[in-house]
Amino acid sequence: MVEAARYLFIIRLGFASGFTSGAFGVGGGVITTPAIRMLLSQSSDIALGTPLPVILPSAIVGGFNYWRAGKIIPRIILYCSLFGLAGTAAGSYTTALIDTRYIMIATSFIIFYLAWRTSVTAMGKDHYKRLETGDARRDWPVWQLALIGSAAGFFSGFLGLGGGVVMIPAFFFILHLELKECLGNSLAIIAILAMPGSLIHAQLSHINWSIALTMMLGVIPGAYLGSMFTLRARNRRVLLLFSCFLFAIGIIFLFKEIQGLV
């Protein structure tokens, strides 16, 4: 009976992670990693490795809904993924050379800035037209896409920070994509970037497959419902919710690292 309740709890965690992933175009690790570590009492290695295979079905299901709605742009997926894979490898190796605690604190303030910027944009009347229709320009230079992909991959590998937290603001403020295009393309790229990490952590025995497979039972319907919620919602409302989500991530990272320094 106790074991059944535990599995049901893991499914609920998966659903929350999947809904967040589908709704905001992120990997969902911001929920699964601390939950596996603190609520399921697993080691830090298991907490970092187990969410990676869980991200795959979440990103695929959510990304499929955005693709069906015409929000996926293959050129962005191609270049951001290629350079993102290289960035992930570089970031992962850099963790062995630098103390990430102070970098994480600095990153939390960058996230606060992005959250403030998105909230101001959502509430500003001058941006309403772009929020609804997006920018017609689609001839982005390759170096721009490569820079975004590399940065997202590096921060993902270096800080364990979901690439969507970097890509979505970059897509919105630099490439001027329509908001739901930002979310959909982010999910598709996250699915690709999660593959090599899943293989590496599997070889290192950092994945608890019992937890991962159970969590997928909740992740798949969660990602479907989360992406459908966003596709049907107004862009302005989604942007405000995303800014709140960024604030929450920044607070979690900031207090976690400050506690580690005490």
| Predicted confidence (pLDDT) at residue 162 exceeds the cutoff of 70 | no
| Predicted confidence (pLDDT) at residue 195 exceeds the cutoff of 60 | yes
Mean pLDDT of 150-157: 82
| Predicted confidence (pLDDT) at residue 144 exceeds the cutoff of 80 | yes
pTM given for the model: 0.82
pLDDT in tens, 9-23: 999 999 988 898 888
| Length reported for the chain | 262
Q: Which segment of 82-86, 106-110, 122-126, 155-159 scores lowest on mean pLDDT?
A: 122-126
| Predicted confidence (pLDDT) at residue 225 exceeds the cutoff of 90 | yes
Q: Are 71 and 185 in contact (CB under 8 A)?
A: yes
Mean pLDDT of 204-231: 90
- pLDDT bin (cut points 50, 70, 90) of residue 128 is very low
Which residues are CB-neighbours of 71 under 8 A, at least 6 positions away? 178, 180, 181, 183, 184, 185, 231
What are the sequence ranges of the domains in the chain? 2-261
* Structural tokens at position 86: 């290289």
CA distance 99 to 48: 17
Mean pLDDT of 226-253: 83
Mean pLDDT of 205-221: 91
CA distance 6 to 10: 6
Task: Count the alpha carbons within 13 Å of 144 in the hemisphere toward its beta carbon.
Answer: 12
Place of tokens 């992933």: 21
